[in-house]
Amino acid sequence: MRQIGGLRDTITLWGELSKNAADLDEVITVALAENDESLKVDISKEIDRITQHFDQIEIQLMLDGPYDSRDAILAIHAGAGGTESQDWAQMLMRMFLRWAERHKFKAQVLDISPGDEAGIKNATIEISGSFVYGYLKSEHGVHRLVRLSPFDADHARHTSFALVEVMPVAEEEADLQISPEDIRIDTFRSSGPGGQHMQKTSSAVRITHIPTGLVVTCQSERSQHQNKESALKVLYARLLEMEIEKREAEKAKIKGKRIDAGWGNQIRSYVLHPYKMVKDHRTEYETGDPGAALDGEIDEFMNAYLRAQVGEEK
């Protein structure tokens, strides 16, 4: 049903574009015949509108991966550096939440671990909407921030790092089959904020996938059932991501390509001092307005990445 819905939307979009182009062709014919200057102004505006519409559809055509149409789970982890990196991780979380809001996608924080003084140590977010994973997969990697520290009395320049993981939401039976014997579920008292109820009852859930040793915890909800449901969703997504990475590594080995996903290989730098710039190191796309990017305006970075990937995955 998801696939049918996506195809129906695609057909509707192309049908609208075709009709708009045909209507515009008739208007151009009339304007040329009557030499109507006012019509020529309207035609110019309509051409710009149709071109913008076409560009949007062109980007969607690039989202043809097996999981691109799915919802996504983001995991954000502060790097070494204490409060600086934890504050940066929280800034990134806000950036992605604002991006989701701009596109009217549904965003839910599944789990969050507050920082020692400010910011967050890590957070897990689910973002739901059409082709969310297809767009957000461009954000997987290390993000670097350079700024004058608000936590340093000398206001010295600091460099902070945070890791963003992006995983497609797994359709459990279709993608993976996990035996109940392969998982262990433990409950414990929540240690984070949330009132006395969460701290007095064992509502937090820890799930261990025994064959891989993968551990997922969730304690942001008041209900143990809700936390278990969220933790299972993250576990399935992580296991699916491991399977995807395994396949990609095999393909890279055949092609002779090297995959680097370490901390030293940042995908994007956000510079607030001594100049203002955000630059993606994979595509070389950059902007001089980091404030807009950190407020969720990151579509052009995603589009540049998608265009750069055309032909790469074949």
pLDDT tens track for 77-132:
999 888 999 999 999 999 999 999 999 999 999 999 999 889 999 999 999 998 99
pLDDT, position 261: 44
CA dist., res. 184 & res. 191, Å (int): 21
Cβ–Cβ under 8 Å, residues 136 and 162: no
Under CATH, which number does the domain 72-173+260-309 receive? 3.30.70.1660
Asked which of 27-41, 70-84, 266-280 is least confident by mean pLDDT, the reply is 27-41
Cβ–Cβ under 8 Å, residues 284 and 300: no
Strand partners, 269: 144, 279
CA dist., res. 79 & res. 161, Å (int): 5
Residue, of 245 and 133, whose pLDDT is higher: 133
pLDDT, position 255: 54
% of the chain at pLDDT higher than 90: 51
DSSP one-letter code for 179: -
Residue of 65, 136, 134 lying closest to 99 (CA atoms): 136
Is the peptide bond between 168 and the residue preceding it cis, with omega within 30 degrees of 0?
Answer: no
Instruction: Please give the distance of CA 65 from its chain centroid, rounded to a whole number.
Output: 15
Per DSSP, the three-state class of 262 is coil
**Structure confidence at residue 29 as a pLDDT band (50, 70, 90):** confident
DSSP secondary structure of 131-163: THHHHHGGG-EEEEEEEE-TT-TT--EEEEEEE
Alpha-helix residue ranges (DSSP H) falling in 35-163? 37-61, 83-102, 132-136
CA dist., res. 176 & res. 226, Å (int): 21
69, two tokens:
């149409």
Compute φ and ψ for 281, nearest 5 degrees: -80, -10
CA dist., res. 79 & res. 207, Å (int): 24
DSSP one-letter code for 277: E
Dmax (CA) for the chain in angstroms is 80
Report whether CATH 3.30.160.20 matches the domain 181-255: yes
Pairing between β-strand 120-128 and β-strand 72-78 as defined by DSSP bridges: antiparallel
Strand order in the sheet with 141-148: 106-114, 120-128, 72-78, 157-168, 141-148, 266-271, 277-280, 286-287
- CA-to-CA dists, residue 242 to 15, 234, 249, angstroms: 39, 12, 10
For residue 195, pLDDT over 60 is answered with: no
